[in-house]
């Protein structure tokens, strides 16, 4: 998407893993330079690199992960980090690794290094999965990899939630209205406005109601709130 946007000028990439998309955008001129610690590309892409080695050797550098993922270096360069979330809660905590909190989808990888060291840390995710039966935005994540203190911006296909400088309740409103799927917004507002007092409206009786609904019925729409 960044490569296709006419509003974004040509850019450089500082990352952990360089994949096919980076090489393609480099060929088209959108990416000027890329630094990483590994090159994990398809066989056709490898052939492309070898055929144009003179072109790519001036534009790609691989360094040990002690350098590529070093938080001090990431911060000093002013990196804008973009990572993928499996799940986000309405306060800005991110689950990057565990489906429903138990099934490991992948490791945390370099997202921890880049999120904590970045000038701006961004997470992107589709608002739903499984044909809408799973909401990527829930009252509380089932597993936390990145806390609200490290997460600055969340993006879904519905919009951009800028969480910087906002209170827990303000962050929740921002995420619900700008990122959550419209079908789930009323349920998320119900949780947020359930009369829980305090700085963060956390309800231990209902914070995992979305997950419970999916485990019991196969659809997070079927939420049943528990009375205190």
Number of domains in the chain: 2
Same domain, yes or no, for 91 and 168? Answer: yes
Annotate 116-185 with DSSP letters as a single string: HH-SEEEEE--SEETTTTEESEESS-SS-SB-TTT--EEEETTEEEE-TT--HHHHHHHHHHHTS-TTTH
- State in Å, rounded, how far the first CA of the chain is from the last one: 45
| pLDDT computed for residue 160 by the predictor | 97
In terms of residue numbers, what domain contains 31? 1-67
Q: What is the pLDDT of residues 56-81, one digit of tens each?
A: 999 999 999 999 999 999 999 999 99
Same domain, yes or no, for 211 and 110? Answer: yes
Same domain, yes or no, for 156 and 119? Answer: yes
Percent of the chain past pLDDT 90, that is, above it, reads 89
Same domain, yes or no, for 127 and 200? Answer: yes
Q: What is the pLDDT of residues 117-169, one digit of tens each?
A: 999 999 999 999 999 999 999 999 999 999 999 999 999 999 999 999 999 99
Among the listed residues 16, 27, 173, 190, the single catalytic one is 16
Q: What is the pLDDT of residues 159-201, one digit of tens each?
A: 999 999 999 999 999 999 999 999 999 999 999 998 778 889 9
| pLDDT computed for residue 197 by the predictor | 81
Distances (CA, A) of 15 to 3, 46, 159: 16, 19, 25
148 in catalytic set: no
| pLDDT computed for residue 1 by the predictor | 73
Same domain, yes or no, for 74 and 63? Answer: no
| pLDDT computed for residue 152 by the predictor | 98
Where do we find the tokens 């019991």?
216
| pLDDT computed for residue 227 by the predictor | 81
Same domain, yes or no, for 150 and 212? Answer: yes
Residue 228 has pLDDT above 70, yes or no: no
| pLDDT computed for residue 213 by the predictor | 98
Q: What is the pLDDT of residues 18-38, one digit of tens each?
A: 999 999 999 999 999 999 999
| pLDDT computed for residue 101 by the predictor | 93
Q: What is the CATH number of the domain that holds 167?
A: 3.40.1080.20
Strands laid side by side in the 94-95 sheet? 94-95, 87-89, 137-138
């Amino acid at each position: 998407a960044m490569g296709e946007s006419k509003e974004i000028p040509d850019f450089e990439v500082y990352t952990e893993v360089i994949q096919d998309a980076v090489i393609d955008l480099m060929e088209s001129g959108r990416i000027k330079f890329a630094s990483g610690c590994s090159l994990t590309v398809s066989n056709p892409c490898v052939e492309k690199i070898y055929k144009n080695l003179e072109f790519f050797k001036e534009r790609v550098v691989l360094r040990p992960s002690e350098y590529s993922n070093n938080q001090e270096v990431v911060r000093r360069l002013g990196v804008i980090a973009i990572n993928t979330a499996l799940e986000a809660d309405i306060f800005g905590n991110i689950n990057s690794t565990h489906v429903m909190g138990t099934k490991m989808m992948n490791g945390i990888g370099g997202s921890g290094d880049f999120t904590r060291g970045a000038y701006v840390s961004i997470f992107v995710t589709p608002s739903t999965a499984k044909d809408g039966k799973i909401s990527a935005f829930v009252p509380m994540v089932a597993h936390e990899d990145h806390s609200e203190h490290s997460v600055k911006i969340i993006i879904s296909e519905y919009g951009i939630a800028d969480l910087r400088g906002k209170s827990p309740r303000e962050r929740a409103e921002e995420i619900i209205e700008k990122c959550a799927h419209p079908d789930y917004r009323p349920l998320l507002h119900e949780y947020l406005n359930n009369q829980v007092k305090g700085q963060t409206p956390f309800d231990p009786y209902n914070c995992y109601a979305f997950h419970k609904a999916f485990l019991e019925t196969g659809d997070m729409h079927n939420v049943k709130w528990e009375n205190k």
